[in-house]
Every structure is written in C-alpha cells, then in structure tokens.
Amino acid sequence: MLKTIEPKKMLRGIITLPGDKSISHRSAIFNAISKGYSKVTNFSQGEDCLSTVNCLNQLGAKIYRDEMNPTTIEIEGSNSTFVKPSQNLDAGNSGTTLRLISGILAAQPFYSSISGDYSLNRRPMERIIKPLTLMGAKVKSKLENGCPPLEFHSGNLNGIEYRMPVASAQVKSCLMIAGLFAREKTIITELAPTRDHSERMMINMGGEVVVNDQTIEITPGKLTSLSLDIPGDMSAAAFWLVAGAIHRDAAITVQNVGMNPSRTAIVNLLKEMGAKIIITNLKEVGGEPVADLAVETSELHGLEIKGNMIPGLIDELPIIAVAACFAKGKTIIDDAQELRAKESDRITSIVQELGRLNAKIEETTNGMIIEGGNKLAGASCNSHGDHRIAMAIAIAALNSDGNTNISNAECVSISYPKFWETLDSFNNEKTKNR
C-alpha cells in the first residue's frame, strides 16, 4: 500500500486511542493462565495482539472475540493447564508474543515450537534462551543462530536468581511467567527500570510478586482471572503529542491515555523540550493510572538523550527524532543500540527516511545526531515494513512542504490499525490511499 500524506494547515481534534498494546498482550496471557472467567474491553486490534490470542487458542485456551465489538474479548482461564499445539505457533511480527508465550512453553510437558515472520525470525532470542535454560527449560534455536524458530521439549523449571544483561520488559515478563510454573522463587534484577505492566497485573490477579526497586521476586502459584478495561496506548499517543507540538497551528486532546509511570518518559521528555502538554482527568482504572493529554503548538529545543533514559523511551525514539527535526538546536540520541534489533534497524531506517525529507540528521554507532530547523520537504519514503517508522514519517510529513508518499504503509496495522483513519480525520482534509 502506498500512502500519500498532504501537509495540513491546522491540526485540531479529540482522539480516542487503541487499547494499550503491552497491557492487551498481558491481559490475554495472564487470564489464559489463570483460573476463572474474565472480560477485557478496549483490547488492541493490532496484529501483534491478535497473534497472542491465536497462539493461546492453539494451546487450548478459550478466548472469544465479540463479533459485534471486536475490541471486547472473553477468556476462560486454563488454570495453568495447556495442551500440545497441533502445529508450530505463529507469533507473526510480534516479539512480545514470542517472548512471553515462551515463558509458558518452557514449563509444559510436551514438545512445541514458535516462530514468526521474516522480520521476527531475525531478532535475537538468546536473551530468553539463556535464562530459561538456567531454569531447567529444554529450549533451543532450531537453526542454532539464536533466533526463531524456538523449540521446547518437556522440562521442569527451577527458580533462579538472574541479573538481566539488557533492559527489556519482554525478557523480564517471560521469566516472570516461567517463574509461576517453577519449583522455587525466581528473583530477577533489572539492568534499568522497564515498563511494569506485568508486575501490576500479576499482583492484581493474586500473584505473589514482590517488587523492590529494580528487583522482582516471583513465588510459584496460580493467578485469579481479572476483568479490565484497557487504557489508551501511550506509545500511540506519542505520535499525536509530537504532531501537536511541532505543527504551526495545532490543538489536540488525546483521551484516556495510560499513564503508568514506566511509560510516561515520553511526556516528560517532550515537556523538557518545551512541549505545551496539559494532563487532566487523572484517575485509576484496573490498577493503571489514566488521564487525558492536551497538546498545542510549541517551540521545542534540542537536548541529549542517552544512558538510563533510553529504556523508558525505546519505542518512542523514532517519533522523538521527528520532534528533534523541528526543535531549535542539536539533539543527540545515544546508547540506543537496541533499536537495531527491532522490526527494522530503526536507527538506519529513521535516519534514511527523515534524510529523504531534508532533515539534517546523521547516523552514529548507537544512535543519531539531529540539527533542528531545516525545513522539511515532501518526498518518497519507505516504511521498511516497520509500523513505528511509517507513523513517524507520516507525522513529519504533516508539517512538510509538498506531498509525501510512504510505501508499505499497511504495516501500521501491526499496532494501530486505525492510524490512517485518524490522521485523515483532521479537519476533513483527506489524504489519499492508493
């Protein structure tokens, strides 16, 4: 699909977001493990989360989608009892699906395998293979290259104490899930704080989880089902917050955004850059803080983003690079080598595509340097099959001179199927689908 973006004279509107992708994954997985019935509303319709549902159903979980309202799912928990799948589990493009489901597969008394699409099958999985093996799991990379497909043979898990060498909420959550099935406690120490949706949800579901700073202790046991309404996705909100801040005539409100402290680094960073963002209607829903965010045209300035700042911003770095293009001065992004192991090499991808739009941007070994202030011009761009690259380029294009064409634009359906529809709705100035 080729998407043509026309610059907008103004951006004004109220946006309702898709359900948070991270929480959607976990609500399906944890309720599938649990005992009892649950109902989840505002479940993300992104392809990644649907991959999780499909994998769980193949393992014998009973997850039903409401045909009239597909954002609602009903789950009958397995009480930690799963069945051997009849075929290889397909995680699609979803690293979260593959890594978190692996926490279940490692503990099962049957053979199973899981893989994904071409992109996912190139992503590193030694980061879960090693600690799961230490727990007693019989798991290996089928091609012996540290990447999917992963194969699991029946194994009994023991609790371990594990210090994570990389900051990854996916790896942490995989080990927490495996820890539920282990014989003894599992203790995980993070390299740096990452999003804590797994800890919050497990605790709300009766799991014995103790969090002490960057150390998480999981006692083996069962979970009790939890019905919840999933808040809007902060990573999706980030695109509209940047859109509003960089546009010359903008006033955007994003409603019911999940405000988990482990996810609000993007709001804090944009405010530090000078973005005019107001937080209202703060409340708690299902153990997660939720609020409305209003943003308007702002004067941004560059800054340095590195070190412990990176884990809390890892998914938002492509759209931060867009904000930096419209900021005064220099922005330096460093220590972001993890971007190279995403759906695309996001360092190379975003540098190439913003460069096509006339941004003054330079790739470095672990990040990029951006000199703000260059007027962007429409161009032909490529999403690299990466949903976050496609959406970041689209936001930049709204404030560029001339039309921008984005190829392989259908990839936004991975996380935000209605992104183009939402973008097109501003001021009824329609972009073109071809």
Instruction: Give the pLDDT band (50/70/90) at residue 430.
Output: very low
Asked whether the predicted pLDDT for residue 147 surpasses 80, the reply is yes
Between CA 277 and CA 275 the distance in angstroms is 6
pLDDT of residue 58: 98
pLDDT digits (tens, 9 = 90+) for 265-291: 999 999 999 999 999 999 998 789 999
Asked whether the predicted pLDDT for residue 241 surpasses 90, the reply is yes
Cα–Cα distance list, 184 to 30, 104, 160, 179, 231 (Å): 20, 16, 8, 8, 34
- 3-5/432-433 β-pairing: antiparallel
Counting runs of H as helices and runs of E as strands, what totals does the chain give? 12, 24
pLDDT digits (tens, 9 = 90+) for 246-266: 999 999 999 999 999 999 999
Instruction: Give the pLDDT band (50/70/90) at residue 427.
Output: low
Cα–Cα distance list, 131 to 135, 195, 323, 365 (Å): 6, 20, 38, 28
Angle (CA) 338-247-45 rounded to 5° is 55
Helix (H), strand (E) at residue 367: strand 367-371
Share of the chain above pLDDT 90, in %: 95
Stretch 31-44: mean pLDDT, rounded? 97
Between CA 277 and CA 298 the distance in angstroms is 9
Asked whether the predicted pLDDT for residue 434 surpasses 70, the reply is no
Between helix 317-325 and helix 265-272 the angle, nearest 10°, is: 10
Share of the chain above pLDDT 70, in %: 98
Asked whether the predicted pLDDT for residue 6 surpasses 90, the reply is yes
pLDDT of residue 20: 96
Asked whether the predicted pLDDT for residue 428 surpasses 80, the reply is no
Q: In what order do the strands lie in the sheet with 37-41?
A: 62-65, 73-76, 37-41, 228-229
Stretch 130-153: mean pLDDT, rounded? 98
Asked whether the predicted pLDDT for residue 431 surpasses 60, the reply is no
Domains and CATH numbers, the chain: 3-18+231-433 (3.65.10.10), 21-229 (3.65.10.10)
Backbone CA torsion sign across 162, 168, 170, 173 = positive
**Tokens, residue 58:** 């193949």
pLDDT of residue 154: 85
Among 389, 428, 434, smallest CA distance to 412 is for 389
Q: What is the DSSP letter of 98?
A: H
pLDDT digits (tens, 9 = 90+) for 188-234: 999 999 999 999 999 999 999 999 999 999 999 999 999 999 999 99
Catalytic residues: 315
Between CA 107 and CA 103 the distance in angstroms is 7
